[in-house]
Amino acid sequence: MTTRALGIDIHVDGTRIAGTLVGPETMVPGVLLVHGWDGSQAQYLERAHEIARHGCICLTFDLRGHVRHKADRELVSREDNLRDLLAAYDALVNHPAVDPAAVALVGSSYGAYLAAVATSLRPVRWLSLRVPALYKDEDWHVPKRSLSRDELMALRRRVVSPEENRALAACAAFRGDVLIVESEDDPVVPRQTVRNYRDACSQARSLTYRLMQGADHGLSDPNCQKAYTDLLVTWMGEMVMNARAPQAQGKQPAKDAVEEAQEGERLGETD
C-alpha cells in the first residue's frame, strides 16, 4: 500500500512544534450535512453514521441561531449562516483523509438553500437538497427571523428563474450530481419551489428526483424519516461507488450513475 505524508503544526503552550501525519495514499469523500431552520446537527447524526459506512468522513454542525448560539436567534442573517457553512466545509476538507475533489453537501429546507448557494463558493461534487427553501436576494443581510412570511410564500409559489435568484443561479452552474427530494404534504415549500430547483439544475451530471408520499415538511412521521435516510444513504453509496469505479478515471460511464426520475415518481418506502 502506498503512503503519503502531511506536515502539520502542533500547538502547545503558546508555540508550535512540527509534526508529520503519515497514512495511506487513498483519500475518502467528505460529506457535510446542513440542518434547516429550527433544526440541529442532532437530527443528522444517524444519517452521518450510515453514510460513513460507505467509507466517507461526515461532518454535522449547528448553525448560529441554534443550540449553543440560540441567544443570537433574532439577529442571525443568511450571510452569517452561509459563513457558518463555509467554515464547516473548510474544516471538513482540511481533514487529512478527505479528498477535496470528492465533497458532498447534504441540506434540508433552509440548509438546502444555503448548500445550493455554497456550491458557487466552494468545490462540490455531489449536492443533495431535501425540500429546498427559497428566499429573496435583496434581503440577504436581514435577520432570518425578520423576513416576511407572506412575501416568502408568494415567492415560493411562482416561477423563479436562475437569473432572479442566487441559489438557483448556483444550481444552474452546478455540474455535479444532484438529488432533490420533495414532500407531498409540504405547506412550507410548495411544489413550484422544488420545480424551480429542478429546472435550474440543467447542467448537472445527473439529477435524481423523488417525491415522498404522505410526508410533511419536517418528516414528522418516523416512517418518513427512515425512508428519507434510506434514500439518502443509498444515493450517496451509489455516488461513492461510481466515483471509485475504473470509469471514474476519466472514462465515460456505460450508463448514468442514477436514473432521472419522472415528474410523477413517488418514493414507496413510507409505510
**All 3 cell numbers of residue 98?**
478527505
78-93 vs 110-118: helix axis angle to the nearest 10? 60
Q: Match 512540527 to its residue by C-alpha cell.
A: 18
Which residue type occupies 26? T
State phi, psi for 258 to the nearest 5 degrees: -135, 155
Sheet architecture: strand order including 28-34: 57-60, 28-34, 98-108, 126-130, 177-183, 206-212, 266-267
User: H or E stretch including 50?
Assistant: helix 45-52
Cβ neighbourhood burial of 250 (10 Å; 0-12, 13-18, 19+): exposed
Query: Using the 8-state DSSP alphabet, how is residue 91 labeled?
Result: H
Q: Domain segments of the chain: what residues?
A: 27-248+256-267
Give the phi and the psi of residue 207 in degrees, each rounded to 5: -135, 120
220-235: average pLDDT: 96
Q: How much of the chain, in percent, has pLDDT values that exceed 70? A: 86
pLDDT in tens, 100-116: 999 999 999 999 999 99
Give the position of cell 471538513.
92
Residue 222 forms beta bridges with which residues? none
Q: Top-level CATH class of 27-248+256-267?
A: alpha beta
Other CB atoms within 10 A of residue 140 CB? 13
Residues in Cβ contact with 223 at an 8 Å cutoff, skipping those fewer than 6 apart: 270, 271
pTM of the model: 0.82
Choose between 197 and 62: higher pLDDT: 197
pLDDT band at 261 (very low <50, low <70, confident <90, very high): very low
Encode pLDDT of 245-258 as tens digits.
754 454 443 334 33
